[in-house]
């Protein structure tokens, strides 16, 4: 097992990519998967079950297996026998262990990985890419100045550059199919993985009241209510939006490819920083996203259709004014 340093690998090289099963993380990895596809590598994806609906028939990889909850010894017989490249985009102890097991003795590894003895982490390469892998401040304002091979601080580009791909960064690509129901004019998503991502219910109510007063219908996307609290925060806000008749409740009614279809069919999307935002960007729909200041440099895709709203430095997302949000959503509908 040795560190990958951008060596030229022939078409057909077996490649294993380990990704987080959070929806946004998965979507952010698709530019890298597209570049690996162009390189002609034979890619196996290891991911979690939360994104499994995007796996069947996906052209970005040849096969996929569930990672989380599957012991490494059960994964090994499923992978190519030798000569492979493992790209690990996840920093958990489990993923690092799987990366080492998947790589074996004769393979290359890119990303976090335990060493050959399993006693510590395998050192990163002694080059600018290795320095970026080891850098804990990916949201830093001066990231591109310190790493001139980056054109932006966007995580989708970072993943590609850390795998030694140069040139243009492809856009997101996720499977989609038409949603089997009527789609409102505006789709919103109010839940996220962290409390600090959330916008308060009172502001949601005021903003949606303004949009509805202009004649726009609004639909709420999210997980099935019975499963929402397992991974996400914001259920109370979602329930009140539904109870007060501010939204059409679409939660849990669509498979993930159908969610992308719904996002493609609506006129605009308004969401906090979550997986729906990244799916909306993949769909190409005008989107207004609320981000924590600083985090936006890493997680906001640098595309024309996304309007990024942040609080002032040091302030919380909840301080973003209703006027600012309402005006941005209405502008995206113009």
85-144: per-residue pLDDT in tens? 999 999 999 899 889 888 877 789 999 999 988 789 999 999 999 999 999 999 999 999
Contact 252, 275 (CB under 8 A): no
Q: Is the pLDDT of residue 293 over 90?
A: yes
Report how far apart, in Å, the C-alpha atoms of 156 and of each of 13, 92, 168, 256, 309 are.
22, 19, 12, 20, 20
pLDDT value at residue 80: 66
Out of 3.50.50.60, 3.40.50.10490, 3.40.50.2000, 3.40.47.10, select the CATH number for domain 186-333: 3.40.50.2000
Q: Is the pLDDT of residue 82 over 70?
A: no
pLDDT value at residue 171: 97
Mean pLDDT of the chain: 94
pTM (2 decimals)?
Answer: 0.95
Q: pLDDT higher for 77 or 59?
A: 59
Q: What is the mean pLDDT of residues 187-202?
A: 97
Confidence of residue 21 (pLDDT cuts 50, 70, 90): confident
All CATH 3.40.50.2000 domain ranges of the chain, comma separated, are 186-333
Q: Is the pLDDT of residue 83 over 70?
A: no
Give me the percent of the chain exceeding a pLDDT of 70: 97
User: Which strands make up the sheet holding 2-3, listed edge to edge?
Assistant: 2-3, 108-110, 85-88, 14-18, 42-47, 63-66
Q: Which CATH architecture has domain 2-162?
A: 3-Layer(aba) Sandwich (3.40)
pLDDT value at residue 68: 72
pLDDT value at residue 231: 84
pLDDT value at residue 58: 96
Q: pLDDT higher for 82 or 110?
A: 110
pLDDT value at residue 81: 61
Determine which of 68-72, 200-204, 312-316 has the lowest per-residue pLDDT on average: 68-72
Q: What is the mean pLDDT of residues 151-169?
A: 97
Give me the percent of the chain exceeding a pLDDT of 90: 83
All CATH 3.40.50.720 domain ranges of the chain, comma separated, are 2-162
Q: Is the pLDDT of residue 74 over 80?
A: no
């Amino acid at each position: 097992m040795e560190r990958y340093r951008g060596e030229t690998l022939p078409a057909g090289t077996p490649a294993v990519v380990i990704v987080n099963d959070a929806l946004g993380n998965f979507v952010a990895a698709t530019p890298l998967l597209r570049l690996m596809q162009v390189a002609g590598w034979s890619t196996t994806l290891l991911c979690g079950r939360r994104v499994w609906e995007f796996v069947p028939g996906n052209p970005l990889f040849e096969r996929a297996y569930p990672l989380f909850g599957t012991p490494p010894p059960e994964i090994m017989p499923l992978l190519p026998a030798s000569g492979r490249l493992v790209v690990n985009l996840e920093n958990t102890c489990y993923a690092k262990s799987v990366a080492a097991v998947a790589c074996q003795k004769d393979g290359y590894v890119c990303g976090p990985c335990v060493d050959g003895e399993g006693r510590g982490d395998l050192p990163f390469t002694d080059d600018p890419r290795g320095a970026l892998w080891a850098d804990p401040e990916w949201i830093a304002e001066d990231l591109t100045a310190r790493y001139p091979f980056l054109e932006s601080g966007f995580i989708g580009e970072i993943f590609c550059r850390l795998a030694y791909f140069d040139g243009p960064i492809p856009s997101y690509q996720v499977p989609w199919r038409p949603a089997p129901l009527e789609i409102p004019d505006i789709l919103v998503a109010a839940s996220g993985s962290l409390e600090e991502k959330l916008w308060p219910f009172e502001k949601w109510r005021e903003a949606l009241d303004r949009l509805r007063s202009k004649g726009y219908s609004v639909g709420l996307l999210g997980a099935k209510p019975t499963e929402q609290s397992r991974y996400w925060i914001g259920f109370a806000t979602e329930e009140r939006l539904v109870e007060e008749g501010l939204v059409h409740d679409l939660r849990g009614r669509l498979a993930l490819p159908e969610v992308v279809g719904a996002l493609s069919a609506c006129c605009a999307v308004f969401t906090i920083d979550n997986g729906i935002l990244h799916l909306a960007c993949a769909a190409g729909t005008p989107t207004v996203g609320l981000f924590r200041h600083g985090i936006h440099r890493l997680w906001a895709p640098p595309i024309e259709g996304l309007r990024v709203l942040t609080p002032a430095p040091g302030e919380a997302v909840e301080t973003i004014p209703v006027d600012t949000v309402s005006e941005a959503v209405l502008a995206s509908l113009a």
